[in-house]
Amino acid sequence: MKELKAKIMEALYSALPVTVIVYILALTPLVELSKAELATFTIGAVMLVLGIGLFSLGADLAMTPMGAHVGSGLSRQKKLGLLLSVCFVLGMLITIAEPDLQVLANQVSAVMNGTVLIYAVGIGVGAFLVVAILKIVFRKSLSQILMLFYMLLFALALLLVVNGNAPLLPMAFDSGGVTTGPITVPFIMALGVGISNVLGDRRSKENSFGLVSLCSVGPILAVLVLGIFSKNDLTYTVPDYSVSADVLGAFAHTLGHTCKEVAIALGLIVVFFLICQVLFLKLSSRHLHRIAVGVFFTYIGLVIFLTGVNVGFMPIGYKLGYELSRMNDSFLVLFGILMGVLCVLAEPAIHVLNAQVEDVTGGLVKKKSMMLGLCVGVGAAIGLSMIRIIRDFSLVYYVIPGYFISLALSLFVPPVYSAIAFDSGGVASGPMTSGFILPFAVGACVSLQGAEAVLRDAFGVVALVAMAPLITIQLLGFRGIIAEKRAEKRAMKRILDADDQQIINFM
């Protein structure tokens, strides 16, 4: 209970800024929120705080240990075929059941078959989880692998444009962000840590990261391939973001649906873990009891969090975007930057990532530095997305230069920073991005460009959120290099000064 209280207080501090901003806007003429909308948002905010607190505790007790045990246990079997086969199935099943992917599929079902999209993305994640494991086993450079596959992505993106399906491009890059959601990230990251601890070498810190970043490539590749061969009508229908007059009924309906989705997602992981436990893990009953408690907290936390976001935050995000876009363009951009920073603080998986980064790097990368870098990067990404909506231009003008800069930086910074940065991109684009920022962008786009431009201009915001941390976190690596060199120079100067003093004393 003491740990739970600490987690809930941490979640309260994270979610409070977003909540306060919405209440302040409700008191101004800028946004007119009804009593039902304010009541819905308030309930959603309370559920968000409770959900993040419970989820964070559950991730510490269950998701992270499960991934680490499975990774190390599979690696100790010394059977590469078994390791790769299990990881492919694991990646595919978890992704198919990921709630964030379900949300995206429902929003784009008008232009692409939702079931086909989900299974294609699942196969893509499973395949690239295998690539990530091979990277660890054969100790290959993450930067080189990412360069190879991103060049392939850019080539397919060009082919998609040539085939006349350019509006699908933002959705393809968005899919890479939503598939690395709150369920998959803690498990997959810990899986990498477990495998790296068994198979690692002097670069084990770098090898501990990179799985999330590579798993984010698979969905983009899958959707681009689907888009190239798609012949569907690309007319996008804006979802109904209105708030129901029956506030409690809306929450109850969504709660039941979310309970089923999260049960399927967590159930797949638990069944997979139990099979591994019977075959080779053989953990003690004490460990299993702790993990069971953690799974319970994770389930309850995710159900509460996703229900609060879907019912309480999505409609308010859409309305804020729609009404604030009527103000000055600069105001919309600045507000987008502010909301990006605040939503980073409320993303549940980011707190898990920051803690794991500080632990694995032995304090080399601090949680505060990571959080600052993510806030700056995501804030800038939302601001750039608002500019794109206002000016109505293609996502490629951001994505191609952004990824080229990111990949170029990876050649000069310590490899551990590149691995962490590319993982951070997938983690930053979580439920708060798809459940609040994306509706905010849709509302702004409908107001400024019309509903027909949503697929072209509003989508892509998740992709930019996933891309921005790649640059900012690697810039932290540059700062670390400079600080280390300065420290070496100061130490050398002290040594030389001491030697000179000894010579003077001897004379």
**Is residue 354 pLDDT above 80, yes or no?**
no
pLDDT number for residue 101: 76
Distance of CA 317 to the CA centre of its chain: 19
Q: Give the pLDDT confidence score for residue 86 in this predicted structure.
A: 85
CA distances from residue 347 to 82, 96, 424 in whole angstroms, order as listed: 34, 21, 12
> What is this structure's pTM?
0.83
Give the separation between CA 6 and CA 13, rounded to whole angstroms: 11
* Across 344-354, average pLDDT: 73
Tokens linked to 120: 């294609």
Question: pLDDT confidence of 498, banded at 50, 70, 90?
Answer: low
Q: What is the pLDDT of residue 391?
A: 92
| Burial zone of 119 (CB within 10 Å; 0-12 exposed, 13-18 middle, 19+ buried) | middle
Q: b/e string for 11-32 if b means 16 or more Cβ within 10 A?
A: bbebbebbbeebeebbeeeebe
What residue numbers bound the domain in which 129 lies?
Answer: 2-506
Residue 310 has pLDDT above 60, yes or no: yes
Q: What is the pLDDT of residues 6-27, one digit of tens each?
A: 888 877 877 788 889 999 999 9
pLDDT digits (tens, 9 = 90+) for 184-198: 777 787 888 788 777
State pLDDT tens for residues 27-66.
Answer: 988 888 999 999 999 999 999 889 888 988 888 888 888 8
How many independent structural domains does the chain possess?
Answer: 1
Asked whether the predicted pLDDT for residue 204 surpasses 60, the reply is no
Instruction: Return the pLDDT at 184.
Output: 75
